[in-house]
Chains A and B, each alone.
Chain A
């Protein structure tokens, strides 16, 4: 007995042995969510303790926590380099064969995501320390932002699907809390609920995908799953349908979180949250979690021949669909929200055409320029009392104190429009070129649609820029005026914290593109991704030769031309001849109206999904609840009541009556006994 115990003990230690070597490198990873967690707890405590706007402590703690996490991420990225590391923080779920530890897996893809999340997070926290000043929920805001970084880094670092799901739901929760941050505003509450509920649909898919993966592979750990997937793929055996369904279920989760058709509707409404949140969560980081999920689980997506084409087509259609909506909106924050949906579409397109480098690189550059755009919008909103309507803002570049905002907005717009040599130019080209190279169902069409969408993107981006920042100076304050201003409205220019962050992000928007230029295949960035689990590339076609036969070369030219055409159109319609834009709108009024109304998708969902659901609910209520359940309960009450009504007259209240009754009863019993005997 003792012997077998000892043997088991040794065995257990032996099985742990391989992990201990990896801890040497990966031990750092545990600190990344820990620092923001400490900040979140401290800020949360402050938020609970004092109702009035506290001193700057919450902001400082949050910035410190995120900056430390960023520094650890940098050192981790350097130490891990092109290798990978695995570290178990603690044992979490052990149930039969199910093994889901609180364990982190770090490879170059993880490193890049961590750098983006913590880096942009730190910048946004610095920005928010000024933007949110004077707000009632100052401490609450920073507690939620820190908590978001905890959840997001957990999601990124997770070495198994269940821990990833924990982070996934955590970011969903923080997103909900932050969209509904101004909970006195009905629109914000509605938007928060919408985001949460729409995400539920996607997350159901994700959860089912995890269950199915566990049932099929007997494990939820990425490493174990990938191993089996590789074995399955190389064996050439027929792949069971149940396994082929896994990527489709995971995809549903990704489409929900990353706001793709048909689940994109929550993201534009999510702009009800404070602008730093829109920049951090709803543009740069959380919404890219879906892209990350597919990139991380790419081997799993290769198992079904229809999975990646589906991703590509959904991304492509989302890109053009939301771009057309963005062209017709007037709220600048909403325009950029639709633009985010559209750019996420590009990322999925990239994954779908097997350009995992392009997709993750677009994620990387998009984080910079989209954060800069949103934070620029936030500065405008902050300075003009919540004004976001591009018809009521004009010529801001000539208002005193707005030069930094203008400059950073310009470079971010250029990057989004894919202007040559800016960051968005490189990343978008990589995706589009790959679409023309890779063989797949309709991938050429995807390439052409993507190219066309690039033109639309350039147009709507510069529509905002030319309207708001150039042209004659005139502006009207928004509705958030703090009383007492009267007719004399003075916009207040952004302070140093906002300006510094905008400058850093603006520089990133220009220069981040160079990360993928240089030696090797797609420079530093390419070599990072090629050493990660997402290192899959389509077998290169014969198309890599000569200028016009090599998409990687002519795409740069083509997309530059398309981008410049879009910018030119915007310049004509929204800078030199704004009356022409109005005439154009009136000449296609029905279409314009429809686009301004977001193609009536929300109304369509209302009609096709919400109304029928509510109808079913009413029917169930009337039949099931009112009739059956209430009926049964009422019957239970009616029976005793009837018996009571029948028996009650016997209680006459007369003593003699009771006596007679007693005697009668006794006599009856005696007679019965008599007869029986």
Chain B
């Protein structure tokens, strides 16, 4: 186990995480393409994961890394599912525009 992170280094990691998250969030809100939107959510996911390892390193334990492995596993499964859904949607209506799937509006 290496030396625990200093508070300054932690801040840098958290800044990286926040930037990644915001990029993902803005991407999710501004883009219409379903695949891009999905990738943006993945970006937010990774931002959260970075924050978690950073805290793990700061506190000097491995729980953050354990969680990272979990998150990566779940994210892989979820990515497969989400992409399958996108394929299904594309088969029904040959477009990836999210605007076209708004039939559930009130």
User: B104 contacts A651, CB within 8 Å?
Assistant: yes
User: A654 contacts B28, CB within 8 Å?
Assistant: no
User: B103 contacts A653, CB within 8 Å?
Assistant: yes
**At the interface, yes or no: B50 with Cβ under 8 Å from chain A?**
no
**At the interface, yes or no: B99 with Cβ under 8 Å from chain A?**
yes
**For B29, what are the chain A residues with a Cβ–Cβ distance below 8 Å?**
656, 659-660
Bound Cα distance A474, B106 (Å): 85
Bound Cα distance A655, B101 (Å): 9
Kindly supply a per-residue 1/0 record for chain A positions 619-651, scoring 1 wherever the CB is within 8 Å of any chain B CB and 0 otherwise.
Answer: 000000000000000000000000000011111
**For B98, what are the chain A residues with a Cβ–Cβ distance below 8 Å?**
654-656
**At the interface, yes or no: A663 with Cβ under 8 Å from chain B?**
yes
User: A663 contacts B102, CB within 8 Å?
Assistant: no
**For B58, what are the chain A residues with a Cβ–Cβ distance below 8 Å?**
none
Bound Cα distance A649, B25 (Å): 24
User: A654 contacts B99, CB within 8 Å?
Assistant: yes
Complex partner residue of B106 from A650, A655, A656, A659, CB under 8 angstroms: A650
Instruction: With both chains docked as a complex, state the minimum distance between the C-beta of B28 and any C-beta of chain A, in angstroms.
Output: 6
**For A656, what are the chain B residues with a Cβ–Cβ distance below 8 Å?**
28-30, 98
**At the interface, yes or no: B37 with Cβ under 8 Å from chain A?**
yes
**At the interface, yes or no: B105 with Cβ under 8 Å from chain A?**
yes
**For A659, what are the chain B residues with a Cβ–Cβ distance below 8 Å?**
25, 28-29
Counting contact residues on chain A (CB < 8 A from B), the size range is: 10 to 19
Instruction: With both chains docked as a complex, state the minimum distance between the C-beta of A258 and any C-beta of chain B, in angstroms.
Output: 71
User: A652 contacts B105, CB within 8 Å?
Assistant: yes
User: B102 contacts A652, CB within 8 Å?
Assistant: yes
**For A654, what are the chain B residues with a Cβ–Cβ distance below 8 Å?**
98-99, 102, 105
Using CB atoms, name the residue of chain B closest to A649.
Answer: B106
Instruction: With both chains docked as a complex, state the minimum distance between the C-beta of B102 and any C-beta of chain A, in angstroms.
Output: 3
Kindly supply a per-residue 1/0 record for chain B positions 22-59, scoring 1 wherever the CB is within 8 Å of any chain A CB and 0 otherwise.
Answer: 00010011100000010000000000000000000000
Kindly supply a per-residue 1/0 record for chain B positions 74-106, scoring 1 wherever the CB is within 8 Å of any chain A CB and 0 otherwise.
Answer: 000000000000000000000000110111111
**For A663, what are the chain B residues with a Cβ–Cβ distance below 8 Å?**
25
Indicate the member of A650, A652, A653, A663 with the most B CB atoms within 10 Å. Answer: A653
**For B30, what are the chain A residues with a Cβ–Cβ distance below 8 Å?**
656
Bound Cα distance A656, B28 (Å): 7
**For B99, what are the chain A residues with a Cβ–Cβ distance below 8 Å?**
654
Per DSSP, are chain A's interface residues mostly helix, strand or loop, or mixed? helix
**For A652, what are the chain B residues with a Cβ–Cβ distance below 8 Å?**
102, 105-106
Bound Cα distance A617, B7 (Å): 84
Instruction: With both chains docked as a complex, state the minimum distance between the C-beta of A254 and any C-beta of chain B, in angstroms.
Output: 70
Bound Cα distance A647, B106 (Å): 9
User: A648 contacts B106, CB within 8 Å?
Assistant: yes
Bound Cα distance A269, B30 (Å): 87
**For B25, what are the chain A residues with a Cβ–Cβ distance below 8 Å?**
659, 663
Bound Cα distance A649, B101 (Å): 17
Using CB atoms, name the residue of chain B closest to A645.
Answer: B106
Bound Cα distance A177, B99 (Å): 72
Instruction: With both chains docked as a complex, state the minimum distance between the C-beta of A588 and any C-beta of chain B, in angstroms.
Output: 82
**For B101, what are the chain A residues with a Cβ–Cβ distance below 8 Å?**
653, 655
Using CB atoms, name the residue of chain B closest to A652.
Answer: B105
Instruction: With both chains docked as a complex, state the minimum distance between the C-beta of B92 and any C-beta of chain A, in angstroms.
Output: 16
Instruction: With both chains docked as a complex, state the minimum distance between the C-beta of A651 and any C-beta of chain B, in angstroms.
Output: 4
**For B105, what are the chain A residues with a Cβ–Cβ distance below 8 Å?**
651-654
**For A648, what are the chain B residues with a Cβ–Cβ distance below 8 Å?**
106
Indicate the member of B29, B37, B104 with the most A CB atoms within 10 Å. Answer: B29
Bound Cα distance A648, B101 (Å): 17
Bound Cα distance A659, B27 (Å): 11
**For A647, what are the chain B residues with a Cβ–Cβ distance below 8 Å?**
106
Bound Cα distance A663, B30 (Å): 14
Instruction: With both chains docked as a complex, state the minimum distance between the C-beta of A364 and any C-beta of chain B, in angstroms.
Output: 84
Instruction: With both chains docked as a complex, state the minimum distance between the C-beta of A270 and any C-beta of chain B, in angstroms.
Output: 65
Instruction: With both chains docked as a complex, state the minimum distance between the C-beta of A175 and any C-beta of chain B, in angstroms.
Output: 64
Using CB atoms, name the residue of chain A closest to B104.
Answer: A653
Bound Cα distance A651, B106 (Å): 5
Using CB atoms, name the residue of chain B closest to A654.
Answer: B102
**For B106, what are the chain A residues with a Cβ–Cβ distance below 8 Å?**
647-652
In residues 356-376 of chain A, which contact B (Cβ within 8 Å)? none
Indicate the member of A648, A654, A655 with the most B CB atoms within 10 Å. Answer: A655
Using CB atoms, name the residue of chain A closest to B29.
Answer: A656
Using CB atoms, name the residue of chain A closest to B102.
Answer: A653
Bound Cα distance A650, B106 (Å): 7
In residues 545-573 of chain A, which contact B (Cβ within 8 Å)? none
Bound Cα distance A287, B29 (Å): 90
Bound Cα distance A652, B99 (Å): 10
Instruction: With both chains docked as a complex, state the minimum distance between the C-beta of A283 and any C-beta of chain B, in angstroms.
Output: 75
Bound Cα distance A660, B26 (Å): 10
Instruction: With both chains docked as a complex, state the minimum distance between the C-beta of B105 and any C-beta of chain A, in angstroms.
Output: 3
Bound Cα distance A653, B103 (Å): 6
Bound Cα distance A650, B105 (Å): 8
**For A653, what are the chain B residues with a Cβ–Cβ distance below 8 Å?**
101-105
Using CB atoms, name the residue of chain A closest to B103.
Answer: A653
Bound Cα distance A652, B98 (Å): 12
Instruction: With both chains docked as a complex, state the minimum distance between the C-beta of A653 and any C-beta of chain B, in angstroms.
Output: 3
Instruction: With both chains docked as a complex, state the minimum distance between the C-beta of B66 and any C-beta of chain A, in angstroms.
Output: 26
Listed A/B pairs (22) with beta-carbon separation below 8 Å: A647-B106, A648-B106, A649-B106, A651-B104, A651-B106, A652-B102, A652-B105, A652-B106, A653-B101, A653-B102, A653-B103, A653-B104, A653-B105, A654-B102, A654-B105, A655-B101, A656-B28, A656-B30, A659-B25, A659-B28, A660-B29, A663-B25
Other A-B contacts than A654-B105, A659-B28, 5 sampled, CB-CB below 8 A, are: A651-B104, A651-B105, A651-B106, A656-B29, A656-B30
Residues of A bordering B, CB below 8 Å: 647-656, 659-660, 663
Nearest 10 interchain pairs by C-beta: A653-B102, A653-B105, A648-B106, A651-B106, A655-B98, A656-B29, A651-B105, A652-B105, A659-B28, A653-B104
